[in-house]
Amino acid sequence: MKNIGAVALLCFAITGRAAANPSPEIAYLTREPASMLDVGLDRLRDSILTVLGNNLDGVGVKSLPSVDTTYDYARDQIQIIVSATTARAAPSPKEICRRLVSIVKLWMNSTTVWTDGFTHAGYTENGQEDAAVKSKLPSLIVINGAVLPDKPPTLITPVGFCSVTLSTPVSYTGP
């Protein structure tokens, strides 16, 4: 009888805790669906990070930029924000910003694969709606770049900021 108890205790220790219901927080999260916009924004961010990671030679940044993708309800725009810290002896913040947003713009204009992230994968009954969404997305994109100083002060303030759509030239604010 002692051996059975020891074996049970050993099995419990190996497998962790006994099966239990999820916490209320996890249960809530499992009931909340993600929208195609939520999923698409995450997929777009991941794709942009990959593109930037493969195209940073000569840009003048310290490390892989951070990328945030959000939807601005007031403007009905998908906002892409690429933030990077300048490397020592780097080009001007204006040039770094222009290069960063240009990499993203060039990639997005050279392929439509990024629009697939905002649609259903594989067979779907929503194919016609997905095609309409994919055709409209490029007009809703704004790419923003923020260049941060190499050694930022206590409050991080960009030394340069630029913005571009997929059909306009880069506009720059900063020194």
In this predicted model, what pLDDT tens digit does every residue of 42-99 receive, in sequence order?
A: 999 999 999 999 999 888 888 899 999 999 999 999 999 999 988 877 788 889 999 9
Is the confidence at residue 4, as pLDDT, over 70? Answer: no
- The Cα 149–Cα 85 span in angstroms is 6
- The Cα 19–Cα 38 span in angstroms is 31
Q: Among 145, 142, 146, 144, which Cα is nearest to 166's?
A: 142
Is the confidence at residue 14, as pLDDT, over 60? Answer: no
Model confidence at 148, in pLDDT bands (50, 70, 90)? confident
Determine the pLDDT at residue 58.
85
- The Cα 106–Cα 115 span in angstroms is 14
pLDDT in tens, 88-144: 777 888 899 999 999 999 999 999 999 999 887 765 676 677 788 889 999 999 999
Model confidence at 6, in pLDDT bands (50, 70, 90)? low
